[in-house]
Chain A
Amino acid sequence: MSEPLIQLQGICKSFGDTRIYHDLNLDIFPGETLVIMGGSGSGKSTLLRVLMGQLKIDAGNVLIRGRTLDEMNRGELDSWRKSVGVLFQSGALFNSMTLRENLALPVREHTDLDDETIDLMVQIYLQLVGLREHIDKLPAELSGGMKKRGGLARALMMQPRILFYDEPTAGLDPVSTAQIDELIMNLKNKMGATSVVVTHDMQSAFKLADRLALLFDGKFAAVGSVEEFRTTTNPLVRQFVDGRLEGPFVNPSDQCSYKAQLLGRKINEVPHGQKTT
Chain B
Amino acid sequence: MRAAIEFVGDFFYLLLDTLRAIMPALSNGRGRVLAWRNIWMQMNRIGVESIPIVCLVMFCIGAILAMQIAPELARFGIVPVTADVVALATFREMGPLVSAVVMTGFGGAAIAAEIGTMVVGEEIEAMEAMAIDPIRFLVVPRVLAGMVMMVCLTVLGDLAAMFGGLVASALLLHLGALQYVHHALAILKVGDFLTGLVKAGVFGVLITAIACFLGLKVRGGAEGVGLNTSKTVVFTIVALIVVDLIFTSVFFYLGV
How many Å from the CB of A138 to the closest CB on chain B?
Answer: 13
Q: Does A82 contact B (CB under 8 A)?
A: yes
Chain A, interface size: which category? 20 to 34
In chain A, residues 64-82, which have Cβ atoms closer than 8 Å to a Cβ of chain B? 77-79, 81-82
Given contacts A109-B30, A109-B31, A112-B30, contact A94 B130 (CB under 8 A): no
- Cβ contact of B34, chosen from A82, A108, A158, cutoff 8 A: A108
Q: B132 — which chain A residues lie within 8 A by C-beta?
A: 105-106, 109
How far, in whole Å, are A112 and B32 apart by their CA atoms in the complex? Answer: 12
Q: Does A86 contact B (CB under 8 A)?
A: yes
A52–B129 CB distance below 8 A: yes
B128–A92 CB distance below 8 A: no
Given contacts A94-B118, A108-B34, contact A82 B130 (CB under 8 A): yes
Given contacts A108-B30, A108-B34, A109-B30, contact A92 B126 (CB under 8 A): yes
Q: Does B192 contact A (CB under 8 A)?
A: no
- Cβ contact of A106, chosen from B118, B125, B130, cutoff 8 A: B130
How many Å from the CB of A133 to the closest CB on chain B?
Answer: 24
Q: Does A84 contact B (CB under 8 A)?
A: yes
Q: Does A54 contact B (CB under 8 A)?
A: yes
Q: Does B117 contact A (CB under 8 A)?
A: yes
Q: A109 — which chain B residues lie within 8 A by C-beta?
A: 30-31, 34, 130-132, 137
Q: B131 — which chain A residues lie within 8 A by C-beta?
A: 77-79, 81-82, 106, 109-110
Closest to A151 in B: B126
How far, in whole Å, are A79 and B86 apart by their CA atoms in the complex? Answer: 58
Q: A90 — which chain B residues lie within 8 A by C-beta?
A: 121-122
Given contacts A108-B30, A109-B31, contact A95 B130 (CB under 8 A): no
Q: Does A49 contact B (CB under 8 A)?
A: yes
A92–B31 CB distance below 8 A: no
In chain B, residues 62-91, which have Cβ atoms closer than 8 Å to a Cβ of chain A? none
Q: Does A179 contact B (CB under 8 A)?
A: no
How many Å from the CB of A202 to the closest CB on chain B?
Answer: 25
How far, in whole Å, are A54 and B128 apart by their CA atoms in the complex? Answer: 8
Q: B137 — which chain A residues lie within 8 A by C-beta?
A: 109
In chain B, residues 25-51, which have Cβ atoms closer than 8 Å to a Cβ of chain A? 29-31, 34
Closest to B126 in A: A92
A95–B122 CB distance below 8 A: no
Q: Does B10 contact A (CB under 8 A)?
A: no
In chain A, residues 82-96, which have Cβ atoms closer than 8 Å to a Cβ of chain B? 82, 84, 86, 88-90, 92-96
Partner-B contacts on A (CB < 8 A): 49, 52, 54, 77-79, 81-82, 84, 86, 88-90, 92-96, 105-106, 108-112, 151, 158
Q: Which 4 A-B pairs have the closest CB atoms?
A: A92-B126, A92-B122, A81-B131, A78-B131
Partner-A contacts on B (CB < 8 A): 29-31, 34, 114, 117-118, 121-123, 125-132, 137
19 new A-B pairs (CB below 8 Å) besides A86-B126, A95-B121?
A54-B129, A81-B131, A82-B130, A82-B131, A84-B129, A86-B130, A88-B129, A90-B122, A92-B122, A92-B123, A92-B125, A93-B126, A105-B132, A106-B131, A109-B130, A109-B131, A109-B132, A112-B30, A151-B126
